[in-house]
């Protein structure tokens, strides 16, 4: 009788996704432990399949971010946080694992229903959006982030108090950048901050994004374009880079801002 085939790293990723897809039905410590191993398995599978060396910088950044998320989840079960509070992180991690597993298994797309078929296109668009963002003057970069950031929830009103006007819908990042570029070309100043804008300094956030390595900047822009809060996603990028040092991955996230001559071709 022939020996059974040994499971591959890609098979391991499929098994992990089977757990992560039904994570609320399994013991939380078990889910966290499996997630903690999965980030390393993603990197190992990409390397073993010869994919890692072909990944553009922004995809490597996303893979490293996935590894950092696995480290967060590995220790999550010990934190005094309701399990449901980890739903966004688990969902993002699951999608990232499936995305990279599909790259390792290009002929087995049906095995990875969790992978977003638009992810590659989103990455290509993010390169263009990143280029448009970095060509703007600093004050316009801050204005764009203010426009796309989620607004503060309206205050609780007393009975009979006049209801404040509803905030305007957020523009897409692509629209905000196009409008900012057109106005900046005519030497116009950025508009006043929106009613209900977040209280944080978007100029500081824009500078923080500019100090990330190029690939991380593009991945951060991709996430903002998908609706992420610029403050949260830029903070998570910095935290991820710091966390990776614990597993021997050292990335100088606080390097000087990129100069205008560098680019992200290939992301």
Quote the pLDDT of residue 115.
94
Quote the pLDDT of residue 210.
94
Q: Which residues of the chain have pLDDT under 50?
A: 1-5, 254-262
Quote the pLDDT of residue 192.
86
Quote the pLDDT of residue 262.
44
CA distance 74 to 230: 25
CA distance 178 to 173: 9
Structure tokens at 203: 């100029």
Quote the pLDDT of residue 259.
39
CA distance 243 to 246: 6
CA distance 9 to 17: 12
* Residues 209, 224 contacting (CB under 8 angstroms): no
Place of tokens 């039904």: 22
CA 217 → CA 19, 36, 66, 107, 211, distances in Å? 31, 25, 15, 31, 8
3-state helix, strand, coil in the chain (%, to 5): 60, 0, 40
Q: How many CB atoms lie within 10 A of CB 109?
A: 11
* Residues 61, 218 contacting (CB under 8 angstroms): yes
Quote the pLDDT of residue 1.
45
Q: What is the DSSP annotation of 124-179?
A: HHHHHHHHHHHHS-HHHHHHHHHHHSPPPPPPPPPTTPPPPPPPPPPPPHHHHHHH
- Helix (H/G/I), strand (E/B), else coil: 191: coil
Quote the pLDDT of residue 152.
66
Of the candidates 62, 43, 35, 83, the residue with the CA atom closest to the CA atom of residue 233: 62
* Residues 55, 25 contacting (CB under 8 angstroms): no
């Amino acid at each position: 009788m022939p020996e059974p085939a040994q499971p591959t790293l890609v098979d391991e990723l499929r098994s992990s996704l089977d757990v992560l897809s039904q994570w609320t039905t399994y013991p939380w410590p078990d889910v966290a432990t499996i997630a903690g191993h999965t980030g390393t398995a993603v990197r190992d599978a990409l390397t073993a399949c010869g994919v890692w060396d072909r990944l553009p910088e922004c995809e490597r950044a996303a893979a490293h971010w996935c590894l950092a998320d696995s480290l967060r989840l590995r220790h999550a079960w010990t934190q005094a946080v309701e399990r449901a509070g980890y739903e966004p992180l688990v969902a993002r991690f699951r999608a990232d694992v499936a995305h990279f597993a599909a790259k390792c298994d290009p002929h087995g797309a049906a095995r990875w229903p969790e992978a977003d078929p638009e992810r590659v296109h989103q990455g290509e668009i993010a390169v263009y959006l990143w280029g448009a963002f970095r060509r703007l003057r600093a004050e316009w970069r801050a204005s764009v982030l203010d426009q796309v950031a989620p607004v503060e929830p309206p205050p609780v009103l007393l009975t009979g108090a006049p209801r404040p006007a509803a905030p305007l819908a957020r523009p897409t990042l692509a629209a905000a950048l196009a409008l900012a570029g057109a106005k900046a070309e005519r030497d116009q100043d950025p508009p006043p901050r929106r009613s209900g804008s977040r209280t944080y300094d978007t100029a500081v956030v824009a500078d923080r994004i500019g100090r990330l390595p190029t690939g991380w900047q593009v991945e951060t822009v991709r996430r903002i374009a998908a609706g992420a809060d610029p403050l949260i996603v830029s903070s998570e990028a910095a935290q991820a880079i710091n966390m990776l040092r614990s597993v021997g991955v050292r990335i100088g996230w606080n390097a000087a801002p990129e100069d205008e001559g560098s680019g992200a071709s290939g992301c």
